Amino acid sequence: MPQVKGSMLETQALLSSDHTILSHSKKWPQHMAALLASLISMATGTVAGWSSPAIPFLQGNMGTLVSEPITDEQASWVGSIVTLGCLVGAIPAGTLSQMLGRRNFLLVLALPLILGWVLIIEGEHNVQLIYLGRFINGLSFGAVTVAVPLYNNEIAEDSVRGNIGVYLDLMLCVGILWSYVVGAVSSYFWLSVSCCMIPIVFLLTFFWMPESPVHLMAQGKIEDAEMALRWLRGAKPYHQYDTEPEMLKIQNMVDQAKERAQTAVDISDFSSIKEKLSSLSLRSTTSKAIAIALGLMTFQRLSGVSAVVYYTVDIFRGAGTSIPPTTATIIVGVVSVIASAASACLVDRVGRRFLLIMSDAIMAISLAVMGIYFVYKDSDENAMIPAMRAIIPVIALSAHTFAFRIGLGCVPWFMVPELIPMKDQAWANSLANFYSYIALFIVLYSFIWGVNVFGYSVTFFFFSVVCLIGTLFIYSYVPETKCKSKEQIQRELKYGIGQVRYGGF
């Protein structure tokens, strides 16, 4: 603690002759750093969205000649193998982000993305190269969903933490839309090349951003942490700005985490996660946070939105809509970006719980509408009014996507780091993401199989029921974290869900 105070006094002495006083922090540097960090999330969004326009092309369904069209089985692997890479990438992400630093680790993650796209570009006529490229892309994808929330959460003040936390999902949606639009107007080659450019832009821009002050403080680099904090709060070298309260708060958080880590089980890698879990008390705040995190990830992945994102063109083709499938896909992509942007504006106003509950409830309804639509279409397609065939699938899937992106799509990614104690951030975030991608792989790989065996109607009804159960789970167990400090959240978790929900939804 004395080191921090000494550093403060030195800084104030150097600035004492200047009359420019910054009494309040500025928010735009935090937003800029978080947006540039989230550019790599846009890059992973193109990985997710790429399969929707690319698979129909590879199967020869887009009016182009393909020498060897891929089969449905190969198409399932093209869509889902990226999640196997996500599984592997998520495992060491928390530990590596601590070893290398949040900023440096994010910069490193751009390299597998670039390599993966190069392989995909070369693999236009070689599906094995596409598999390899998608898997390598997945390595970065899985790690990004751990590292970006950690970085954004640690650079943000409590008052804007929710707004900034949404950027991960917002930029993911922008990347998905990018793939949809470019895929609709260009070839496989140019679609893949355009996706490859985004991680390069990320490298050139995010390189200039500061490291997380929390990470620097944890490494004992107090002066560097103060400089990073001043930059993030908009304090120029000639400004007098009192960083001492926030620096002391960060130092206290780091000290508490180190004290607890001394009595905790040593974890050098993810292989010892079982030992760590077995050492936890079921009543501990970490256990409660992990249970809530895994619940949120379960209902996020089983909401069916990933299947919609990866196979949008095929779904609209199956729905028989009179609107061209590529056009309908772009409409859904635009809606997802608008919803994610709306979430950024609402999350620190109406709260996390409200958005999550509303999100899951609307998804349950929209998926049920899709199920009913396919029941009627499969029974007698000619009996359906042409106008209904044109708009019902587009409206229902747009509502489903809007609801997902405004709540369940973005909130869990930054809410999980909010809930988990700092000492457990590395392994617990990796665990949550590892579990998330297992669920995602199951959904993506089994979706085409489920449609072929049970039809679209049963598949959509299943997702609808899951969303209904998810709504009940969120209402019963998920706390409100809006504008609360880490200490407040942990205190409320400690004294039970009843106390946590007080003043929430």
Q: What are the tens digits of pLDDT across the range 411-466? A: 887 788 788 877 777 677 778 878 888 888 888 888 888 888 898 899 999 999 99
Dist. CA 128–CA 126, nearest whole Å: 5
Predicted confidence at residue 1, as pLDDT, reads 42
Res 310 pLDDT > 90: no
- Most confident segment among 171-175, 245-249, 375-379, 442-446: 171-175
Lowest mean pLDDT segment, chosen from 50-59, 233-242, 461-470: 233-242
Predicted confidence at residue 503, as pLDDT, reads 41
Q: Are 188 and 121 in contact (CB under 8 A)?
A: no
Q: What digits encode the pLDDT tens for the residues 298-309?
A: 999 899 888 887
Q: Is residue 205 part of a domain?
A: yes
Count of Cβ atoms closer than 10 Å to residue 232 Cβ? 25
Looking at the structure, tell me whether residues 201 and 302 fall in a common domain. Answer: no
Q: Is residue 457 part of a domain?
A: yes
Q: Is residue 247 part of a domain?
A: no
Looking at the structure, tell me whether residues 308 and 191 fall in a common domain. Answer: no
Looking at the structure, tell me whether residues 190 and 291 fall in a common domain. Answer: no
Res 167 pLDDT > 50: yes
Q: Is residue 475 part of a domain?
A: yes
CATH of the domain at 131: 1.20.1250.20
Res 159 pLDDT > 60: yes
Looking at the structure, tell me whether residues 164 and 298 fall in a common domain. Answer: no
Last residue of a domain, one of 209, 225, 248: 209
Looking at the structure, tell me whether residues 176 and 299 fall in a common domain. Answer: no
- Phi/psi of residue 481, nearest 5 degrees: -120, 5
Q: What digits encode the pLDDT tens for the residues 100-134?
A: 999 999 999 999 999 999 999 998 888 899 999 99
> Could you tell me the residue range of the domain that residue 289 belongs to?
284-495
Res 8 pLDDT > 50: no
CB-side exposure of 453: number of CA atoms within 13 Å?
Answer: 6
Q: Is residue 239 part of a domain?
A: no
Looking at the structure, tell me whether residues 171 and 309 fall in a common domain. Answer: no
Q: Is residue 1 part of a domain?
A: no
Looking at the structure, tell me whether residues 187 and 333 fall in a common domain. Answer: no
Last residue of a domain, one of 209, 229, 264: 209
Q: Is residue 399 part of a domain?
A: yes
Looking at the structure, tell me whether residues 324 and 449 fall in a common domain. Answer: yes
Q: What digits encode the pLDDT tens for the residues 259-296?
A: 655 544 444 444 455 555 555 556 677 788 888 889 99
Looking at the structure, tell me whether residues 166 and 301 fall in a common domain. Answer: no
Dist. CA 52–CA 82, nearest whole Å: 13
Predicted confidence at residue 156, as pLDDT, reads 81
**Close Cβ partners of 436 (under 8 Å, ≥ 6 residues apart):** 90, 145, 297, 300, 301
pTM over the 0.95 mark: no
Predicted confidence at residue 15, as pLDDT, reads 40
Query: Token pair for residue 176?
Result: 């998905």
Looking at the structure, tell me whether residues 185 and 294 fall in a common domain. Answer: no
Q: What is the mean pLDDT of residues 346-353?
A: 83
> Pseudo-torsion of CA 362, 363, 368, 373, nearest 10°?
100
Looking at the structure, tell me whether residues 309 and 191 fall in a common domain. Answer: no
How big is the chain by its Cα radius of gyration, in Å? 23
Looking at the structure, tell me whether residues 167 and 313 fall in a common domain. Answer: no
- Phi/psi of residue 21, nearest 5 degrees: -110, 130
Q: What is the mean pLDDT of residues 351-372?
A: 92
Res 191 pLDDT > 90: yes
Predicted confidence at residue 365, as pLDDT, reads 95
Number of domains in the chain: 2
Predicted confidence at residue 430, as pLDDT, reads 74
CB-side exposure of 185: number of CA atoms within 13 Å?
Answer: 7
Last residue of a domain, one of 209, 226, 252: 209
Three-class HEC string of 2-15: HHHHHHHHHHHHHH
Q: What is the mean pLDDT of residues 223-235?
A: 84
Q: Is residue 6 part of a domain?
A: no
